[in-house]
Structure 1
Amino acid sequence: MTINYQVVMDILTSQLGSQCVTNDPVRRFAWSTDASYFRIVPEIVVHADTLEQVKITLNIANANNVPVTFRAAGTSLSGQAIGEGILLILGHDGFRTIDISEDKSAITLGAAVIGSDANAALKPFNKKIGPDPATLASAQIGGMVANNASGMCCGTAQNSYQTIKSAKLMLVDGTELDTGCPHSRAAFSQSHAALLAALTDLAQLTQNNPTLAARIRKKFAIKNTTGYSINALVDFTDPFDIINHLIVGSEGTLAFVNEITYHTVEEAQFKASAMAVFFSMEDAASAIPLIKG
């Protein structure tokens, strides 16, 4: 099927306005790279500041069979933030909610919140978010969740998968789901009963296969950010818990991430670092258990 991108461009412009949509060759080329060494030039670039703009874009893309790639800060090294068709970029002003729970045990963040800004809001309470990628000062929450960005400190204990509490999502059909809201879950159970049943069956099938379940647990006991978080199928039985955790690392292929609520983690008030020099790799490796202890 041949896609007439000028027609798609005209429809998007009529519904979103010319300020949000462009197919200018220079701007398309400018957004054709991320922090990786890949280049894929999109046909249309859309900047979305509201969930309604995302929904309109997805509806038009669905109607015209156009692929959509979501982009947050574009700091990933593997090319996830570039794609053909429509490149939908988090806008300059929207998706920037920061809301800390009364007991400081959780923080709700819009998809465009920069990781270091979330930590700055939590710093007075000696708290932080779990993920700590090297690009924390520029990476946005939506991308961090979508890529399960972790970093050197959080490892597999405090990454997005381990610390996510709930998520506000938009599926490709425009359905909105808040996994932390009982009313939203109830409505979703009515509208997407077949999906929830399929997830429940898949989890049960996986858990009933000891060899497969053990292999998955072993693979995800170490740092593993490649592919879907299928460990959700062995870690949970509730389909909403499975959705909550499958979304981590899904790179925008399962849903648009609108908002994330994290469990906060303790931030050490005082820190120190040192440079240690070893004579061999063996000496360096043998020191790790001592340092970790």
Structure 2
Amino acid sequence: MNAAVSLERSPLPAAFLAAIERLIPAERRFDDPLSTLAFGTDASFYRLVPKLVVRVESEAEVIGLLRLAHAENVPVTFRAAGTSLSGQAISDSVLIVLGDNWNGREIRHGGAQIRLQPGVIGANANAVLAPLGRKIGPDPASINAAKIGGIVANNSSGMCCGTAQNSYKTLAGLRLVLADGTLIDSEDPASVAAFRQSHAALLDELAELGRQTRANSELAAKIRHKYRLKNTTGFSLNALVDFDEPLDILNHLMVGSEGTLG
């Protein structure tokens, strides 16, 4: 006998919701059926209707949200432009959406580098660099809509840059927030020093994982071979053979991790 059963989604913890109300203004929290349905899809054909949508406008809000989610064991998903073709920008739990205040950019060394906040659209970054005869490496088909946060999180490349100029290969530094709410900026010596002290065990484990991977010649060769080609499936395990410094390993594992690591 077959039976169809309707299942109700588990509500978010009351303590989590109460804390969110104190952290995020009401006009940037959405839990009504219409709003959650609208955010239940991205550019893919998947649908997951979130229980709560939160629009964040500051780094402090992101840190606060992640600490609350970590404490209450609440899954969260981040969304930049929502151009994902694979469903990375949807959630049936809490969807955290970038607001309008993530558009900072800084051109360095005459255009040899550019530091971008995650809300900058790829094409807009290129427009700023164009007078200097420069462009960013990644060139996804969605560059006119995709934002840097999503481009890096997906290790976007496109048909033109191949594996030589993708997000992984062109990353010079990263400012990120881990799942426990810890902030680390790899270009800030004070931030790096504090992180080395607070997360020494994590860095030691990454360093050891890298040493073991590189020492296994067969495994290291297999990883190098796979990542000679365009490969955005799974985590960027090539970071374990490309870098010795554990912070470099961490930064490059973030590229293509689709928000699962930080």
Partners of 1:75 and 1:235 lie apart in 2 by: 29
The answer to whether the 8 Å contact 1:3/1:66 transfers is: no
Paired letter, 2:135: K
- 1:27 pairs, out of 26, 32, 35, with 35
Q: 1:237 aligns with which of 234, 244, 256?
A: 244
Matching residue within 111, 115, 120 for 2:122: 115
Q: Does 1:11 align with 2:19?
A: yes
Distance 2:27 2:17 in 1: 12
Counterparts of 1:32-51 in structure 2, within 5 Å, are 32-51=40-59
Q: Structure 1-normalised TM-score?
A: 0.84
- Give the letter aligned to residue 137 of structure 1: N
CA contact (8 A) 2:13 2:72 kept: no
1:157-176 aligned within 5 A: 157-176=164-183
**Deviation by residue 1:160-219 (Cα, 9 ceiling, x = unmatched):** 000000000001111110112222111111000000000000000000001000000010
Is the Cα contact below 8 Å between 1:9 and 1:23 reproduced in 2? no
Q: Does 1:206 align with 2:216?
A: no
* Structure 2 unaligned regions, length at least 5: 1-8
Q: Shift of the alpha carbon at 1:230?
A: 0.4
Cα distance between partner residues in 2 of 1:70 and 1:132: 22
Alignment of 1:132-171 (within 5 A): 132-171=139-178
Return the alpha-carbon distance in structure 2 between the equivalents of residues 240 and 220 of structure 1: 20
Distance 1:198 1:254 in 2: 15
2:95 matched to which residue of 1? 87
Alpha-carbon offset, residue 100 of structure 1: 0.1
Which of structures 1 and 2 has the bigger CA Rg? 1
5+ residue gaps in structure 1? 256-293
Q: In the TM superposition, what is the alpha-carbon distance from 1:65 to its structure 2 partner?
A: 1.6
- Paired residues in the alignment total 253
For the residue of structure 2 that corresponds to 1:212, the secondary structure is helix
Percent identity for Structure 1 against Structure 2: 51
Bigger Cα displacement from structure 2, 158-167 vs 238-247: 238-247
- The one-letter code of the counterpart of 2:94 is I
Runs of 4+, deviation exceeding 2 Å:
2-11
Match of 2:198 among 163, 167, 191: 191
Label 1:14 to 1:183 Cα distance change in 2 as closer, same or farther (>3 A).
closer
TM-score, length-normalised on structure 2?
A: 0.94
User: How much does 1:225 deviate?
Assistant: 0.5
Is the strand fraction higher in 1 or 2?
A: 1
Q: Deviations over 1:28-70 (max 9, x none)?
A: 0000000100000110000001011111211222232210001
Q: Is residue 2:82 matched to residue 1:74?
A: yes
